[in-house]
Chains A and B, each alone.
Chain A
Amino acid sequence: MAIAEQQTSPQATQAAGERSWHGIILHTLKRNEISLVPYVPDRVLTPLIRNLHADPFFTTFATAREEEAVGIVSGAWMGGRRGAVLMQTSGFATLANVLASLAVPYQIPLIMFVSERGTLGEFNYGQSLVCRTMRPVLDSLALEHHTITRLDELEFITDRSIKQAVTTQAPVALILNPLLTGGKVFDK
């Protein structure tokens, strides 16, 4: 279902509305009052990023680096505003320092959405290698993370994970697998 949707036109994707993976994430963010969404873009995340920009509820913008986005949502959390960061696998690989020195020790509910490159049809060897660093880094800090592969589980996992992050004051990484999003393949 999700893979088929990747092959449709942007208009049809938008019309698919709330039941697309990106529609579910957008509405789950909104329902949890997450209004600040800095990102470093990724091809797969494009429809989500476009729809966040189109919705005045959200303040969404590109940052130069992923750790910059983590700093921004950390400051916003302390100021009473909720945020989430969007990135690609290779972007997560730049975050070990800020996770270990800011988000974890200061107990900040950092919510990360990671579009997963490097698996299930990856065509770039560098991406497949950097992907293998992601879960060991998350596990080394005992961080909560979920790999989401099914559309019917997306809302439950996302909504519950956001609430758990906030109430336990701990970061969470939601990894958006190609089984959910269609991923990026060589012929695109």
Chain B
Amino acid sequence: MSSNLSARNTKVMNRFDVTSRLIAKLKHEEAVIGGIGNTNFDLWAAGHRPQNFYMLGSMGLAFPIALGVALAQPDRRVFALEGDGSLLMQLGALSTIAALKPKNLTMIVMDNGIYQITGAQPTPAAHVADIVAIAIGSGLANSAWAADEEDFQRLVEDAMTAAEPSLIAVRIDDKPGVGTTRRDPVQIRERFMHGLGVREPL
């Protein structure tokens, strides 16, 4: 299997570039949940939106948090950005999402095979496991690798009209995030609730 992985034809992309391409496609106040570390640093760097939520801990919970938002607001499209190391912490969440089938949820996995932020140590899955195969095996049939940037954008467009949850995996390089999220959890949560129309500012 490792020989297959090394031979796969997916292009190695860049997290900030891919995140920026996603944000550029959002025209309907879609919610975006950014997993811990570089994933939400690049979401922040791509330009803050009131519908963005940035995690500062609870590694692995970007998809469950996004699932909660999707169940609360079924008419709003919800995107979740998660790193491969984070996803490995909570693989069971894929089956939960597959069982509930929220059609407004799109999961994006940024896969560099390393814990970049802690010193670029390889994850246990690097070289042996395939994120998309895991997702399909967990019941998420609508899961695919993005071959390159244009393919990523096409997959995002497909996800926006899909009748079931979608997972897009992106091979990325080992670069750190471009920005640093302001670590103010109460303000992050409050602004997000304003952005989702749940609350008005004081």
Chain A interface residues (CB < 8 Å from chain B):
36, 38, 59, 61-65, 67-81, 83, 97-98, 100-102, 105-108
Contact indicator B96/A80 (Cβ below 8 Å):
no
CA distance A96 to B154 in the complex (A): 40
CA distance A75 to B31 in the complex (A): 11
- Nearest chain A CB to B181 CB, angstrom units: 13
- Nearest chain B CB to A43 CB, angstrom units: 21
10 contacts across the A-B interface (CB closer than 8 A): A64-B96, A68-B93, A76-B69, A77-B72, A78-B68, A79-B71, A80-B196, A97-B59, A98-B57, A102-B61
Q: Which residue of B lies closest to A75 (CB)?
A: B68
Task: Give every chain A residue within 8 A of B90 (Cβ-Cβ).
Answer: 64-65, 67-68
Task: Spot the interface stretch: B7-15, B19-27, B124-132, B185-193.
Answer: B185-193
B73 within 8 A of A: yes
Hey, what's the 0/1 contact readout for B46-75 against A, CB within 8 Å counting as 1? 000000010111111101111111111100
B170 within 8 A of A: no
Main secondary structure of the interface of B (DSSP, over half): helix
With most chain B CB atoms within 10 A of its CB, the pick from A36, A38, A59 is A38
Task: Give every chain A residue within 8 A of B59 (Cβ-Cβ).
Answer: 97
CA distance A101 to B92 in the complex (A): 20
Contact indicator A106/B67 (Cβ below 8 Å):
no
- Nearest chain A CB to B201 CB, angstrom units: 15
- Nearest chain B CB to A48 CB, angstrom units: 20
When A101-B58, A105-B56 are in contact, do A72 and B189 touch as well, CB less than 8 Å?
A: no
Number of contact residues on B: which range applies? 35 or more
Residue B189 contacts which of A64, A83, A108 (CB distance < 8 angstroms)? A108
When A76-B71, A77-B68, A105-B56 are in contact, do A71 and B189 touch as well, CB less than 8 Å?
A: no
Hey, what's the 0/1 contact readout for B149-189 against A, CB within 8 Å counting as 1? 00000000000000000000000000000000000011011
Contact indicator A71/B61 (Cβ below 8 Å):
yes
- Nearest chain A CB to B60 CB, angstrom units: 8
Q: Which residue of B lies closest to A73 (CB)?
A: B68
When A80-B72, A81-B72, A106-B188 are in contact, do A101 and B57 touch as well, CB less than 8 Å?
A: yes
Task: Give every chain B residue within 8 A of A67 (Cβ-Cβ).
Answer: 58, 60-61, 64, 90
CA distance A62 to B76 in the complex (A): 24
CA distance A63 to B95 in the complex (A): 9
B99 within 8 A of A: yes
Task: Give every chain B residue within 8 A of A80 (Cβ-Cβ).
Answer: 72-73, 193, 196-198
CA distance A78 to B73 in the complex (A): 10
With most chain A CB atoms within 10 A of its CB, the pick from B31, B61, B67, B192 is B61
Contact indicator A102/B68 (Cβ below 8 Å):
no
Task: Give every chain A residue within 8 A of B69 (Cβ-Cβ).
Answer: 75-76, 78-79
B108 within 8 A of A: no
B100 within 8 A of A: yes
CA distance A77 to B65 in the complex (A): 10
Task: Give every chain A residue within 8 A of B197 (Cβ-Cβ).
Answer: 80
Contact indicator A61/B61 (Cβ below 8 Å):
no
Task: Give every chain B residue within 8 A of A59 (Cβ-Cβ).
Answer: 71
- Nearest chain A CB to B50 CB, angstrom units: 12
CA distance A61 to B65 in the complex (A): 15
